[in-house]
């Protein structure tokens, strides 16, 4: 028993002394965030395509200030629903699933908002919840965000999957 305790203390002592040393190994590689830019070097705006992975996104319309979605059995916004209408095209060579939950809305202050997929289910024509898209096909969908009434969204970060680098669209510019 005494040998086990002594061995444990020695191991803890060695590990503790190593913790204070700086590692000389290079930091692990991080995945660079993909940013779509137009030929002029600026972010694409509303009406301009932006690509991430195997999807090409085109934000087609913005609809702020919606207080309720889905009729009598729908859902009320905590603040306001901000609806982002978009076309999502599969530019790959196999079926892919588009999920509105992977998208992020960013306001002027840099706050990031997650999509409200529960509200989107109540919205006719949303097509933003686990929508399978075959190669070459496109889906018109609506991604729903519940944001404060005074929020001022300026960008949307679009992802072909939860783990993709994403692409950003400037919501203040329209084609």
Q: What is the pLDDT of residue 61?
A: 97
CB proximity list for 174: less than 8 A, separation 6 or greater: 45, 46, 47
Q: Minimal CA–CA distance to 171: which of 77, 95, 107, 93?
A: 107
- pLDDT, average across residues 18-44: 50
* Residue 56: strand, helix, or coil: strand
Q: In which residue are the tokens 């496109």 written? A: 138
CB proximity list for 78: less than 8 A, separation 6 or greater: 146
- What is the DSSP code (8-state) at residue 131? E
* Upper half-sphere CA count for residue 42 (Cβ side, 13 Å): 12
CB proximity list for 35: less than 8 A, separation 6 or greater: 43, 167, 168
pLDDT band at 5 (very low <50, low <70, confident <90, very high): very low
Residue 69 in tokens = 């979605």
Element (DSSP H or E) covering residue 87: strand 75-90
Choice between 123 and 159, residue whose per-residue pLDDT is larger: 159
Assess contact for 118 and 144: CB atoms under 8 A. no
Q: What is the pLDDT of residue 124?
A: 79
Give this prediction's pTM: 0.77
């Amino acid at each position: 028993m005494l040998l086990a305790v002594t061995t444990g203390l020695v191991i803890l002592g060695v590990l503790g002394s190593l913790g204070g040393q700086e590692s000389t190994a290079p930091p692990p590689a991080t995945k660079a965030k993909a940013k779509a830019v137009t030929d002029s070097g600026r972010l694409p705006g509303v009406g301009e395509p932006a690509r991430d992975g195997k999807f090409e996104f085109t934000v087609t319309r913005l609809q702020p200030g919606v207080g309720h979605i889905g009729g009598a059995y729908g859902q009320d916004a905590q603040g306001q629903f901000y609806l982002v209408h978009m076309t999502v095209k599969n530019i790959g060579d196999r079926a892919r699933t588009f999920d509105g939950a992977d998208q992020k809305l960013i306001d002027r202050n840099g706050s990031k908002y997650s999509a409200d997929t529960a509200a989107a289910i109540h919205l006719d024509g949303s097509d933003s919840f686990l929508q399978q898209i075959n190669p070459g096909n496109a889906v018109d969908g609506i991604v729903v965000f519940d944001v404060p009434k005074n929020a001022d969204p300026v960008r949307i970060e679009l992802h072909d999957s939860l783990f993709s680098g994403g692409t950003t669209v400037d919501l203040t510019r329209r084609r």
